[in-house]
Amino acid sequence: MEVWTIANQKGGVGKTSTTVALAGIAAAAGQRVLMVDLDPHGSLSMYFRQEPDYTHKSTYTLFEKRNRLNKELLLSLIRKTPLPTLHLLPAATALATLERQMHACDGLGLVISRALELIKEDFDLVILDCPPVLGVLMINALAACQQLIIPVQTEYLAIKGLERMLHTLKMLGRSRPTPLSYVVVPTMFDRRTSASVQSLRALRNEYGDCVWKGKVVIDTRIRDASKAGVPPNLFSPHSSAVECYQRLYDQLACHEILTDGEHRCAS
């Protein structure tokens, strides 16, 4: 089982869309895929028509029952989606209360990695969708994954936000046994606007090899797919954003995008 985390402390940069797009493509290729919603706002869950307000069986349950979690309980939390090989562990708004509990409880940072260990034979790929905050949920995701994908919208403020994310990564990296490989993925690129073109250029100049050589273009079908509640590759297989995500998936799946402990990468 491989675990990928999609994270960025900046909001609205395409984390959830990237999660669904990559997961949909992997599932269509026959992989047994689990998407895990770690965001108390539950956008990923709502994408698949699961209301986080009413979800008792959720990622929160993993934290709540962390001392008596077993495989059967964990599997009972997982929902089906329109693709038979694509599954979802939905979020609950109660996840927002974890931050307060973090100070009182030890071992909260490894709940997700321990849970995934129980089902490592049941899924080929797990994708963790993070909230846009550095907190216990993102720390769990970073501890549990082998690959980090950082979507960055091609606009000035989002690039500024990346600095913060990479700084966080450096600090957290010190407590990991193995270095975390990461790749920055430019998203919502609009070649018609000079702001987007200039931002992409700045991103590549500043972060060089850490940035994926491709980019995800802006495409209204990403929004339409979320409205329809199906992954973009099912909704509109030949749309331009799906083609971008397919290229990204192919490179990630073949480990063509590799990073080392110095956080350098090449694609």
Ligand X SMILES: Nc1ncnc2c1ncn2[C@@H]1O[C@H](COP(=O)(O)OP(=O)(O)OP(=O)(O)O)[C@@H](O)[C@H]1O
Question: Residues in the site for ligand X, rule: CB under 6 A?
Answer: 11-17, 39, 43, 132, 187-188, 216, 218-219, 222-223, 226, 241
**Which residues, including other chains, have CB under 8 Å from residue 241's CB and lie 6 or more apart?**
21, 216, 217, 218, 219, 221, 222, 232
Q: Which is nearer to ligand X, 209 or 224 (CB)?
A: 224
> Which of left, alpha, beta for 107 (phi over 0: left; psi -120 to 50: alpha)?
left
Q: Which is nearer to Mg ion, 40 or 186 (CB)?
A: 40
Q: Which is nearer to ligand X, 69 or 128 (CB)?
A: 128
- CA–CA distance, 153 with 189 (Å, rounded to integer): 7
Find out whether 62 and 69 touch, Cβ atoms under 8 Å: yes
Q: Which is nearer to ligand X, 65 or 246 (CB)?
A: 246
Shortest gap between Cβ of 225 and ligand X (angstroms)? Answer: 8
Residue 219 interface partner, choices Mg ion, ligand X, none, CB cut-off 5-8 Å depending on type: ligand X
Shortest gap between Cβ of 53 and ligand X (angstroms)? Answer: 17
Q: Name the site residues for Mg ion (rule: CB under 5 A).
A: 15-16, 43
Tell me which DSSP letter residue 189 carries: B
The residue whose Cβ lies closest to Mg ion is 16
- CA–CA distance, 118 with 199 (Å, rounded to integer): 42
Shortest gap between Cβ of 8 and ligand X (angstroms)? Answer: 7
Residue 17 interface partner, choices ligand X, Mg ion, none, CB cut-off 5-8 Å depending on type: ligand X
**How would you list the strands of the sheet with 33-37, edge to edge?**
79-80, 86-89, 33-37, 125-129, 2-6, 147-153, 181-187
Q: Which is nearer to Mg ion, 16 or 199 (CB)?
A: 16
Q: Which amino acid is at 131?
A: P
H or E, element range at 152: strand 147-153
For the chain, the residue count is 267
Shortest gap between Cβ of 15 and Mg ion (angstroms)? Answer: 5
Shortest gap between Cβ of 89 and ligand X (angstroms)? Answer: 16
Shortest gap between Cβ of 117 and ligand X (angstroms)? Answer: 26
Find out whether 241 and 214 touch, Cβ atoms under 8 Å: no
Q: Which is nearer to ligand X, 34 or 69 (CB)?
A: 34
Residue 188 interface partner, choices ligand X, Mg ion, none, CB cut-off 5-8 Å depending on type: ligand X
For residue 135, count CB atoms less than 10 angstroms from its CB and return exposed for 0-12, middle for 13-18, buried for 19 or more: middle
